[in-house]
Amino acid sequence: MSVDPILQVDGLSAGYGPVPVLREVTLSVPAGTIAAVLGANGAGKTTLLRTLSGLLRPTGGRVLFDGADLRAVRVEGLVRRGLAHVPEGRGIVAELTVDENLRLGGLWRRDRADARLAQDEVYQLFEPLARRRRHAGHQLSGGERQMLALGRALIGRPKLLLLDEPSLGLAPRVTAQIMALLRRLCDSEGLTVLLVEQNVRSALAVADQGVVMSLGRVVMATGAAQLRDDEKLRHAYLGF
Ligand SMILES: Nc1ncnc2c1ncn2[C@@H]1O[C@H](COP(=O)(O)OP(=O)(O)OP(=O)(O)O)[C@@H](O)[C@H]1O
């Protein structure tokens, strides 16, 4: 496993208008690893992902993604450099078919044959989608929508995947499948994942590190195994 951080966040602050939310967040994510971002509702997890993907402008600090300073790169540039963001609520186009939604994910790729290949790979990864390729997004179940959002992001062959609450509304079995897939892609393809999850157990089961946020700050960052195994630590920082 490489130890180079593909994502380095130093003293990042951001908010909504005059309301500060992120307060000097610092974290480092090595390439090919999964960092689980945990914390209570309102801790700032979603705001962190939105700032990292360029949707919110930082008010302070620095973000380096694959060596590039976030302030110097536009959102399209971030996507081209290999950043993909799957927001909470999933963001698929409900009126378009599964096929069409996936094609959107491959649009910016110059090599069409390559995009086609990736689409076939997504259908292999998520069999239920292959069976429903001509169904519209709004006809899919919650789990299928999550697979579609994830598949669409993966088609761009991202280096860094920002994933917000992938388990939301999913059956535990589907959540476990998605977590196992992420682990596999990290180990075999070098994918890096920043995973925001309310389902702490599922996230820590596959993560390399746990980053706990509270009131817009990182209050602890440690190995996921330590958080998983140390009941006192879990109790102190996660309340169970
Ligand atoms: N669009 C917005 N405008 C103003 N304030 C917002 C906006 N979105 C979030 N906030 C506020 O920012 C703070 C952090 O919210 P955020 O959604 O980032 O937290 P979170 O840790 O992801 O929580 P949750 O798990 O509930 O999504 C909260 O106080 C929230 O009310």
**DSSP letter string, the chain:** ---SEEEEEEEEEEEETTEEEEEEEEEEEETT-EEEEE-STTSSHHHHHHHHTTSS--SEEEEEETTEEGGGS-HHHHHHHTEEEE-TT----TTSBHHHHHHHHHTT-S-HHHHHHHHHHHHHH-HHHHHTTTSBGGGS-HHHHHHHHHHHHHHT--SEEEEE-TTTT--HHHHHHHHHHHHHHHHHH--EEEEE-S-HHHHHHH-SEEEEEETTEEEEEEEHHHHHH-HHHHHHHH--
Domain stops at, among 157, 175, 206: 157
**185: in domain:** yes
Domain membership of residue 88 (yes or no) is no
- Centroid of ligand 1 to alpha carbon of 226 (angstroms): 28
**Which residue's alpha carbon is at the smallest distance from atom 1 of ligand 1?**
16
Compute, in angstroms, the gap from residue 44 CA to the centroid of ligand 1: 6
In ligand 1, the atom with minimum distance to the C-alpha of 196 is 22
Is residue 69 in some structural domain?
A: yes
| Last-in-domain residue among 128, 157, 186 | 157
Residue 218 and residue 101 share a domain? no
Structural domain contains residue 34: yes
Query: Looking at the structure, do residues 98 and 148 belong to the same domain, yes or no?
Result: yes
Q: Are residues 167 and 226 in the same domain?
A: yes
Q: Is residue 89 domain-resident?
A: no
Say if residue 72 is in the same domain as residue 113: no
Protein residue with least CA distance to atom 2, ligand 1: 16
Among the candidates 157, 173, 196, a domain finishes at 157
pLDDT tens-digit series, residues 51-87: 999 999 999 999 999 988 988 888 888 888 899 999 9
User: How many A from CA of 99 to the centre of ligand 1?
Assistant: 33
Between CA 215 and CA 197 the distance in angstroms is 16
Residues 9 and 68 in one domain: yes
> Would you state the pLDDT for residue 108?
64
Give the residues of the chain that fall short of pLDDT 70: 1-3, 107-117
Q: Are residues 124 and 173 in the same domain?
A: no
- Domain housing 52: 5-82+159-238
Q: Does residue 49 lie within any of the structural domains? A: yes
- pLDDT score of 113: 57
Say if 136 falls within a structural domain.
yes
| 195 within a domain of the structure (yes/no) | yes
| Contacts (Cβ under 8 Å, ≥6 apart) of 8 | 28, 29, 62, 63, 64
- Here the ipTM equals 0.96
> Both 150 and 164 in a single domain?
no
Pocket of ligand 1 (CB under 6 A): 16, 19, 21, 39, 41-47
Of 104, 48, 112, 45, the C-alpha closest to 79 is 104
Q: Whose CA is nearest to atom 29 of ligand 1?
A: 42
CATH number of the domain residue 214 falls in: 3.40.50.300
Q: pLDDT by residue (tens digit) across 34-52?
A: 999 999 999 999 999 999 9
Q: Choose the residue to mutate in 13, 16, 88, 195 for probing ligand 1, maximizing ligand atoms within 8 Å of C-beta.
A: 16
- pLDDT of 111 reads 62
**48 and 114 part of one domain:** no
181 and 145 share one domain: no
This prediction has a pTM of 0.92
Do residues 76 and 166 share a domain?
Answer: yes
Number of domains observed in the structure of the chain: 2
**Tell me, what's the pLDDT at 48?**
98
Q: How far is the CA of 32 from the centre of ligand 1 (A)?
A: 28
Q: What is the reported pLDDT for 219?
A: 95
Q: Do 149 and 165 sit in the same domain of this protein?
A: no
> What is the CA(122)–ligand 1 centre distance, in A?
31
Residue 112, pLDDT score: 55
Residues 10 and 66 in one domain: yes
